[in-house]
Structure formats: structure tokens, C-alpha cells
Amino acid sequence: MTAVRLTPGQHIHLVGIGGAGLSAIARVLLQQGYHVSGSDRSASALTDALAREGVTVYIGHDAQHVLGAELVVASSAVADDHVEVAMARALDIPVYRRRDIIGAVTSGQQVIAVAGTHGKTTTSAMIVHVLRAAGHDPSYIVGGVLRATGTNAGVGRGPAFVIEADEYDNMFHGLRPHTAVVTSVEFDHPDFFATPNDMVQAFAHFVSLLPPDGLLVACADDPAALVLAQNRLVQGLPVTTYGLDSGLAAWRGLNLRLEADATVFDAGHDGRPRGAVRLRVPGAHNARNALAALAVAEKQGVPFASAAAALAAFEGTERRFELRGDVGGVAVIDDYAHHPTAIRMTLEAARQRYPGRTLWAVWQPHTYSRTQALLDGYAAAFGAADHVVVTDIYAAREQPIPGVTGAAAAAAIAHPNVHYAPGLADAARLLDTAARPPAVVVIMSAGDAPEIGAALLRLRRAQSR
């Protein structure tokens, strides 16, 4: 497909505008001067916010919604026979995916693209936060709402454009990064990547999009990311690495510890101590994310002391270890973790942050194909929890697979205290009855399971009156 050319003032219609990816693109297009409309099957906080900002938002899908549009962008979850996509093609309106249009959206700016199976949302948000605090005013697209800005995207006056580089549907192949961060490369999205090697090759192609003077920032603690860095090093191209565990890391975090509810580590670069870094967001994985942000900040000319001070004030993003409430000694945390490694890291962070509380892990499996392909990993992911609650599978874009169910996933988990609660209301009632204070409930879901936490908090508040 030829490169997409955009002209401010064009009418661009987005199908699936309520998703994390397209809602952010819509916001940037609006601020860049385009007429933006879009549709989604249901209203959400994201669609409501876009409507308030001036986007024409349709709830529900209809062929008439594309009339007048000069270009249509369809979410990765939207099928080719979708009613709006079909109408656009019948009218000879060009239809694109995110990977087709994202290069035009970021054109003319210094693109800092953050990719990885895990950590890309928080790392992107940290970089945005540090650059904003340093007065660089970047444009950005992040897969979660930053607590500091209240939004997931924005157009700044500075030259940098920070973007979360999603591997699904090879969206990140549409980017032309000046700096590329790779946090991790671990098999996921089996509905798109047929094999783990297919996913590795997709990341390798992403890295190859860097220009000869572009910088790769790779996590040395992740074997596949480290190989990508080493492959680039042998070509004599710019690379820096980071990590907690690997002696090969150029940016190193040492002496990781908890101080007054803050995650603290000592940062060093090329063997030279740089100073302590304090984080409000818990867990070793967030220390790694912060090291990546420090590496990018230095590339952008931000002094270490300024970057560390900004990270100390970083409050995170919505649905990434987000405290939704603490009522009567039961804290409720909402997290986006839906891959075995992310679940394990999130629960370890919860154990660190709430060492004296009973830890309840609530997992809503996301998609049948992922649950089936990664079941062995899920079975071993809950060791840090005292109790595990598993709901039915959130189907997202998929049809059921025979034998792949929430009940079967719960039965496969190697843990002495596993509970199966098929519905969200069932899970909330179970937790209200069984989660005795002091406790922390961590709800891990890329679907609608945050409703469990909201319901649990309502029940507990009603009892405390």
C-alpha cells in the first residue's frame, strides 16, 4: 500500500474509536486540525471524553456513519466485512489500519517508539512525564490514560513524539522511529502470530526501521530483547541497554528496596553511579521501566537529576496498579495484566507494596486463543497470591474454542486456594464474603472485570454506613 498522505481539514472516520489505540489517534488528529468522527459498539469514558473535545462519536455501527468521510481507519478488531468498512469501499473511500496511518500521524517529528510484550504503556508514560517535566512538551500516544494529564494522547510544541508501539496487527511496522525501546519480547497474541518466532521476527523488523544513527534501547534482562541489541551492535549501530539482573546492562539498577512505600534503586550508567531513583509505582518491573526512561531522557538531553526528580513524581496510568479504593482494610487494585509474566510481576509488586495483607488475585482470562496457548504459563503465575479467583473468559474479538473455559483455566492453576466465579457479580459477592481485612484484591483484566472492584467497593461501603 502506498504511503498515506494527510491534509489538515480532511474528514477522517475511525471505526472502533473507543479502543485504546484509535481513541488516542483520534485525539491527536483532532488537535492536528482534522475533522474527526468515529463509531463504537458501546459508550465508554474514552468515547465520552472524545465527544466533549469535539469528535463526532456514534454509538453503534451504521453504514451511514461514513458518508462524507475522505478516509476511514478501522481498528485491528474490525473485520473486513464490517458494515462501515464495506460502505466505505463501495464509495471508494480509502480504508486503512493503524499501521497504515500512524506514519503520517507522526510525520515530521522525532519518534520515540516503545515496544514490548510487557511494560510499554508505563514506559511510554514515564518518558512522556519526564520530557514534559523538563519542558520538552512532546506529542504522545499512550495505551493508557496518564494520571498527570488525564488523557492518553496529546499534541505538544516540542519535536519529540512518544508513542506506544503496539505489536498486534504489526501496527509498529508503520512507524519510522528515531529512538526505539524494546522492553521485552515474549510470545503473545496467538490469534495473530502463529508461532513465537513470528513474533520475534516482527520485533526484529521493527528494530530494523531505525535509521543508521537511531538509538535502540533494549532490556538486557530479557533474552530476546538482548539478542536484538547484540545484533545491532555487531553492525556498529547505536545501542544502549538497561536492566536489574544482567551485568551486560549499560544502565543498571542496583540495591532495589522499599522505603516508606516507595520503590527505590541506585542507578548507574556504564559502571558509574548516577544516583538514587524513587518511584511511587511498585515492583521490580517498574524499576526496569524507569531505567528505560532514564536512557531515553539522556538521549533527549535531560539531565539525570531532572529525570530522576520527574520519575519520583510519576503517578502512573489508569489500570496499571491503580488503587480504586481501600474500605475497611480491603484495598482494591485494578491492573491490565493479562499475560502470565505480567500477572506474576503484578502480584509480586502487590506483595511488596502490601506485605502485611492477604493477597487475593482476580484474573479474567482474555481471549480463548491466548488462554489456550499460554495455559501452562498461567498455571504457574499465581505463586505470590494467597487466594486466586478466576472468572469466565473475556472473548473480545473471538469465538469460543471447545474445552477452553474459565472453569478449565481455574482447574489448571497450580495453587491450593483457587476459586471459580463465572460472572463478575459472582466474583464480587465471593470477595465480599471471603476477603477479610487486612487484604488487598488485585483485579487483572484487559476486559470488563474492573466492574468487580467497583461492585466490591460499593458492597463494603454500604456495610460501613
286-340 confidence digits (pLDDT tens)? 999 999 999 999 999 999 999 999 999 999 999 999 999 999 999 999 999 999 9
Q: In 3-state terms, what secondary structure has residue 323?
A: strand
pLDDT of 110 reads 98
Please name the residue ranges forming H helices in 338-392: 340-353, 368-373, 375-379
Q: In 3-state terms, what secondary structure has residue 363?
A: strand
Name, in order, each residue with C-beta under 8 angstroms of 274's C-beta and a sequence gap of 6 or more.
267, 268, 294, 304
Cα–Cα distance between 80 and 318 in angstroms, integer?
Answer: 31
Domain 11-96 class, CATH top level: alpha beta
Cα–Cα distance between 334 and 386 in angstroms, integer?
Answer: 17
Dihedral (CA of 21, 228, 162, 7) sign: negative
Name the residue among 350, 355, 376, 358 with its Cα closest to residue 444.
Answer: 350
Q: In 3-state terms, what secondary structure has residue 463?
A: helix
Q: Phi and psi dihedrals of 382, rounded to 5?
A: -105, 20
Residues 452-460 have a mean pLDDT of 97
pLDDT of 132 reads 98
Q: Where in the chain is the domain with CATH 3.90.190.20?
A: 322-464
Name, in order, each residue with C-beta under 8 angstroms of 302's C-beta and a sequence gap of 6 or more.
130, 131, 134, 136
Report yes or no: 152 and 145 within 8 Å, Cβ to Cβ. yes
Q: Which residues, in sequence order, are bridge partners of residue 388?
A: 361, 418
pLDDT-above-90 percentage for the chain: 96
Q: Phi and psi dihedrals of 364, rounded to 5?
A: -105, 105
Q: Which helix (H) or strand (E) holds 228?
A: helix 223-233
Q: What is the CA radius of gyration of the chain?
A: 22
Q: Where in the chain is the domain with CATH 3.40.50.720?
A: 11-96
Identify each DSSP E strand in 88-233 by its residue range: 95-96, 110-115, 139-141, 153-154, 160-164, 179-182, 215-219
| Confidence bin at 463 (pLDDT 50/70/90) | confident
168-204 confidence digits (pLDDT tens)? 999 999 999 999 999 999 999 999 999 999 999 999 9
Q: Where in the chain is the domain with CATH 3.40.1190.10?
A: 102-312
pTM of the predicted protein model? 0.96
Q: Which residues, in sequence order, are bridge partners of residue 363?
A: 390, 444
Name, in order, each residue with C-beta under 8 angstroms of 298's C-beta and a sequence gap of 6 or more.
269, 304, 307
| Confidence bin at 2 (pLDDT 50/70/90) | low
Opening angle at CA 351, ends 346 and 354, nearest 5? 115
Q: Which residues are catalytic?
A: 120-121, 164
Cα–Cα distance between 26 and 12 in angstroms, integer?
Answer: 9
For domain 102-312, give the CATH number.
Answer: 3.40.1190.10
pLDDT of 3 reads 74
DSSP string, 398-455: ----TT--HHHHHHH---SSEEE--SHHHHHHHHHHH-PSSEEEEEE-SSSTHHHHHH
Q: Is the pLDDT of residue 1 over 60?
A: no
The rounded mean pLDDT for the chain is 96
Please name the residue ranges forming H helices in 38-119: 45-53, 83-90, 98-105
235-270 confidence digits (pLDDT tens)? 999 999 999 988 999 999 999 999 988 999 999 999
CATH of 322-464, one of 3.20.20.70, 3.90.1150.170, 3.30.420.40, 3.90.190.20: 3.90.190.20
pLDDT of 119 reads 97
